[in-house]
Amino acid sequence: MDLEDPDYAYMFGFLQADGHLSLGAGQKGRLTVEINARDLHLLREFQRLTPYNTSITQRTRSTNFADTHHSATWNLCSLEARTRLNALGLPYGKKSTKITPPRVPFSRPDYLRGVVDADGSVGYTSQGLPFISLATASTAIGAYLCHYAKKVTGAERTIRRNARDSIYNVLYTKEAAQELGAHLYYPGCLSLERKRAAAAALSGWVRPADMKIAPPRRRWQAWEDRVLLKHDRPTDAAVELGRTEQSRSLRLWRLKTGRVPMPPRQDATC
35-47 burial, b at 16+ Cβ within 10 Å, e below that, comes to beeebbebbebbe
With 0-12 CB in 10 A as exposed, 13-18 as middle and 19+ as buried, what is 127? exposed
Say how far apart CA 122 and CA 201 lie, in whole Å.
10
Say how far apart CA 15 and CA 112 lie, in whole Å.
12
pLDDT averaged per 10 residues, the chain (length 270): 96 97 88 95 97 94 77 96 95 92 96 98 95 96 96 90 89 96 97 96 91 74 88 78 84 88 69
Say how far apart CA 266 and CA 222 lie, in whole Å.
9
Give the pLDDT score at 208.
87
Residues in a beta bridge with 55: 75
Give the pLDDT score at 180.
97
Whole-model pTM? 0.80
Say how far apart CA 3 and CA 102 lie, in whole Å.
8
Say how far apart CA 119 and CA 23 lie, in whole Å.
24
CA distances from 217 to 49, 55, 155 (A): 44, 50, 10
170-185 burial, b at 16+ Cβ within 10 Å, e below that, comes to bbbbbbbbbbbbebbb
CA distances from 209 to 82, 129, 206, 212 (A): 53, 14, 9, 8
Sheet holding 29-36, edge to edge: 19-23, 29-36, 69-76, 54-61
Contact between 80 and 41 under an 8 Å Cβ cutoff? The reply is no
Give the pLDDT score at 269.
45
